[in-house]
Structure 1
Amino acid sequence: MAVNLSKGQKVDLTKTNPGLTKIKVGLGWDLNKYDGGSDFDLDASTFLLNAVGKVNSDLDFIFYNNPSNSNNSIAISGDNRTGEGTGDDESVMIDLGNVPADVHKIAFCITIHEAKERNQNFGQVVNSYVRVVNEATNEELIRYDLGEDFSIETAITVGELYRHSGEWKFSAVGSGFQDGLAGLCRDYGVTV
């Protein structure tokens, strides 16, 4: 049975699920009534962060143009350009035992492609969520439904997976940003 989180809550992942080695982090969303005339393309991205909350190199930014890290322990599923249909729109596969030791935290984000140019924001998005699934059994372990607390934001850090005392934990973040993907990249130390 999945643990449902609220913004700011943290939960043990590997301690409460002994033997868990591979997970899928699924991200999903739907569009609210939108008739702006432009396609609405949301993208999942992942930042692999060191002990001070920054990437060690630009290669630690995983997205549709850089779909996996150097040892393939973290890989993004691809780019769903519409978000239509049920289930996860995009996902990140993680082999927990092979995540490089210098990665202390993995931040999961959703951004709106060309949001400023298309006059789009997360006020036009509904049913956003992040969930953690045991890849071996397809069991949903953790779920965080973001709600509709956003209006002018063009990027959201939805959650973080982080190391704590030799175990992995998950934090429901739900923080929005107005500067889109470029703002997230600057915050996490990626060269823009």
Structure 2
Amino acid sequence: MAISLQKGQKIDLRKSTGEALTNFCVGVNWGAIETVKSGFLGFGSKKVVEDVDLDLSCIMLNANGDLIDWLYSPDYNAWLSQNNIPLGKLTSKDGGLRHSGDDRQGDVGGDDGLDNEIISVDLNKVSPDVDKIFFFLNIYLNEGQNFDFAQIPFAKIRMYEGTPTKVNSVHSNYDIVTDASYRGKGALILGKLYRRNGEWKFDAIGEPADDKIFVQTIQRILENYK
């Protein structure tokens, strides 16, 4: 049975059988915002779909708290290069983490059962230099948009065994949209994987923030959560 995570909860990465969970996906699921608007004098109503662009990212730190690797969308590389910020990429240097790529819309017509952005994790491949892996989420607002996590349909996070296109067994999940503390917020530090006594564990941080872009969230983590 999947663990329903609470903010600040720490869990062991173990399957129901007691085996260590070493190969899994961290996925975020959400829907586009769909509304029905009436036409002139109430006639000719139509469905309006507003794309929702969430960005799932992660950074890797060593035991001293130094940033040594990262995964975030390469779609922002033009802006990043202009501001002398390391470019986005979808695979970690050691090959232990892989990002599925940027989803700029969300599910249309209801939940399709799959996550929109996924980071696949193979802890057996993660470099010994990596001591902590932080996962975080940011809302990218297009021009004219103004919404927060509380308004995004069925937004949730889960850790599961499987692939980006197939869920075999859900280990744990967290429902974002029902948490009132995320109202008005556009960034979320999801949690961290960390080494303890030779084993990997997970801390569901669940901390919302007002950051407008993911580089601000990275700086927040480096300053407050090392």
TM-score range, shorter chain: 0.7 to 0.9
Question: Aligned residue for 1:13?
Answer: 13
TM-score by length of 1: 0.82
Q: Are 1:93 and 2:104 counterparts?
A: no
Question: Aligned residue for 1:177?
Answer: 209
Q: Which runs of 5+ in 2 are unaligned?
A: 38-47, 75-88
Question: Aligned residue for 2:41?
Answer: none
Q: Are 1:80 and 2:111 counterparts?
A: no
Deviation of the 1:14 alpha carbon: 3.8
Q: How does 1:1-192 map to 2 (within 5 A)?
A: 1-14=1-14, 17-31=18-32, 39-56=51-68, 60-65=69-74, 66-84=89-107, 85-86=111-112, 87-114=114-141, 118-135=145-162, 138-146=168-176, 147-149=178-180, 150-180=182-212, 181-189=214-222
Deviation of the 1:9 alpha carbon: 0.9
Deviation of the 1:10 alpha carbon: 1.0
Question: Counterparts of 2:193 and 2:124 in 1: how far apart (Å)?
Answer: 13
With CA pairs under 8 Å and 6+ residues apart, which has the higher RCO, 1 or 2? 1
Q: Identity of paired residues, percent?
A: 33
Letter in 2 for 1:141: H
Question: Counterparts of 1:30 and 1:52 in 2: how far apart (Å)?
Answer: 38
Give the length in aligned residue pairs. 187
Q: Identify the range of structure 1 (122-131 vs 27-36) with the bigger mean alpha-carbon deviation.
A: 27-36
Q: Identify the range of structure 1 (121-130 vs 101-110) with the bigger mean alpha-carbon deviation.
A: 121-130
RMSD: 2.9
Larger radius of gyration: 2
Secondary structure in structure 2 of the residue aligned to 1:135: strand
Q: Is the Cα contact below 8 Å between 1:33 and 1:124 reproduced in 2?
A: no
Deviation of the 1:38 alpha carbon: 6.1
Deviation of the 1:21 alpha carbon: 3.0
Question: Counterparts of 1:153 and 1:79 in 2: how far apart (Å)?
Answer: 20
